[in-house]
Copies of this chain bind each other. A is one copy, B any other.
Amino acid sequence: MPKIHSKQISKELSLLRVDDDEVRYFEALWEIENGITYNSYLLTGEDEVILVDGWKREYADDFSETLKDLIDIRDITHVIVHHMEPDHSGSLVKILEENGFRAEVLGHPLVRGMMRAFYGIDVKFRAVKDCERLSLGGLHLEFFHTPWLHWPETIMTYLRGHGILFSGDAFGGFSIPPAIFDDDDEVVSSYLPFVREYISTIIGSYRQHIPRNVKKLMDQRLEIRMIAPAHGLIWRKNPERIIEYYLKIADGIPEEGKVLVIYASMYGSCEEAGNIVAEELKKQGKRVITYGFTDVRWASINKIIGDAVDSESLIIIAPTYENAVFPTISHVADLIARKIPPNKPILVLSSHGWAGVAGKKLAERFRSANFSVIDVVEFKGKPDEDVKKRILESVSKLLSQSSTN
């Protein structure tokens, strides 16, 4: 059962968070084992009650009940929509209905049409302009268009005076942190890998918009004392930390010595090549993370993407399958090419039964996304002594060109 948090953070601000431990595939695409939270916020001004985002539709009843413990839903005067993705907006329909559609919905100009298309409702709507300021019941709001974090309509709201940035999906992460705030360093350290995975999978294709939008906020010289995202921890002890972390992951800055080995192996040949590579990398002092697809286990693709983004270099190993790349690796390679900065050299190894094409095709796919493919080793069957030698040579070639060398 999802846990619900209703927590007053300050006189004006409450958090309403639900811990979704029921979702298995976020966006129907990412296999998350550790769940995710949806964070909504309630701002109460003098005569104004402002709801900031909501929960997923599945938790609309819980959301309504949780709100009712704090306020009369008919008293909500404004709903700020930072992001129309239904994990946040899905429950707002019910709330707006219970509100009698009195509240004014504030959002990016695109939100009105999306509300209609997603939920078939026409709301009292006010489009906010980029950098627009609005004072409501003594609360001084400032809206920023932050497009492509990670949809075109994504915005953020800054609560002037309080120094709170409501950031929507940006600065959020996967998993259900055991705390509300970033106060405990251990909690933060355990959480950041899930943030990395979130950035690379959910925002990865639009990663260049992270530094762009951060710069835009910085240019405003906002005094950010708290970052309140729509997923995961609230950052009040050290809000700079999550901003810096987002910038680092957006740029794919590698962890020194981290190397990723990804393989699919129908009958063990590619797995053997993976073992040869991993052993050699470990000898060279690298921290090797291996993901395999075999007949008894499949790796999680989002874990791969999450670990690829801050690796120094990648080794991709796949059989030729029906004159093409083994389908699972083709799928993974496509996601890597789209979601991960190409600042990591890649080594491609490929086994075949009678004719090898997968290595060449994989190299083409990665090169088309501006990755530097250091070497391609195609071999028939399992790696023999000669192939092992060629693999080891290609590994040292790779290491000599890794980004942190």
* Chain A residues in the interface with B (C-beta under 8 A): 22-29, 57, 84-87, 90, 110, 113-114, 116-120, 151-153, 205, 264-269, 293-298, 321-322, 326-328, 331, 334-335, 338, 353-354, 380-382, 384
**Please, which residue of chain B has its CB at the minimum distance from the CB of A56?**
B267
In the A-B complex, list the 5 residue pairs whose CB atoms are closest, starting with the nearest: A117-B381, A86-B267, A117-B380, A118-B381, A28-B266
Q: Is the beta-carbon distance between B151 and A354 smaller than 8 angstroms?
A: yes
In the complex, which residues of chain B have a beta carbon less than 8 angstroms from the beta carbon of A29? 264, 266, 321, 326-328
Q: Is the beta-carbon distance between A120 and B384 smaller than 8 angstroms?
A: yes
Q: Is the beta-carbon distance between A295 and B27 smaller than 8 angstroms?
A: yes
Q: Which of A86, A295, A353, A380 has the most CB of B within 10 A?
A: A295
In the complex, which residues of chain B have a beta carbon less than 8 angstroms from the beta carbon of A381? 114, 116-119
Q: Is the beta-carbon distance between B353 and A338 smaller than 8 angstroms?
A: no
Q: Which of A114, A265, A266, A331 has the most CB of B within 10 A?
A: A266
In the complex with contacts A117-B380, A119-B382, A152-B354, A28-B334 CB distance below 8 A: no
23 of the cross-chain contacts (CB-CB < 8 Å) are A22-B296, A24-B296, A24-B297, A25-B298, A27-B266, A27-B295, A28-B298, A28-B328, A29-B327, A84-B353, A85-B267, A110-B354, A113-B380, A114-B353, A117-B353, A117-B381, A118-B381, A118-B382, A120-B384, A151-B354, A153-B354, A322-B338, A327-B331
| A195: min CB distance to chain B, Å | 20
Cα-based distance from A325 to B28 in the complex (angstroms): 13
In the complex, which residues of chain B have a beta carbon less than 8 angstroms from the beta carbon of A90? 267
In the complex with contacts A153-B354, A322-B205, A328-B28, A295-B23 CB distance below 8 A: yes
Q: Is the beta-carbon distance between A327 and B334 smaller than 8 angstroms?
A: yes
In the complex, which residues of chain B have a beta carbon less than 8 angstroms from the beta carbon of A118? 267, 269, 353, 381-382
Given contacts A29-B327, A117-B353, 6 further A-B contacts (CB under 8 A): A24-B296, A25-B295, A28-B294, A86-B268, A87-B267, A118-B267
Q: Is the beta-carbon distance between B151 and A353 smaller than 8 angstroms?
A: yes
Cα-based distance from A100 to B120 in the complex (angstroms): 76
Cα-based distance from A312 to B294 in the complex (angstroms): 34
Q: Is the beta-carbon distance between A23 and B296 smaller than 8 angstroms?
A: yes
In the complex, which residues of chain B have a beta carbon less than 8 angstroms from the beta carbon of A120? 382, 384
Q: Is the beta-carbon distance between A382 and B117 smaller than 8 angstroms?
A: yes
Cα-based distance from A110 to B318 in the complex (angstroms): 22
| A55: min CB distance to chain B, Å | 13
Cα-based distance from A266 to B84 in the complex (angstroms): 13
In the complex, which residues of chain B have a beta carbon less than 8 angstroms from the beta carbon of A382? 117-120
**Please, which residue of chain B has its CB at the minimum distance from the CB of A352?**
B117
Q: Is the beta-carbon distance between A25 and B296 smaller than 8 angstroms?
A: yes
In the complex, which residues of chain B have a beta carbon less than 8 angstroms from the beta carbon of A114? 353-354, 380-381
**Please, which residue of chain B has its CB at the minimum distance from the CB of A271?**
B28
Selected contact of A264 from candidates B28, B87, B297, B354, CB within 8 Å = B28
In the complex, which residues of chain B have a beta carbon less than 8 angstroms from the beta carbon of A334? 327
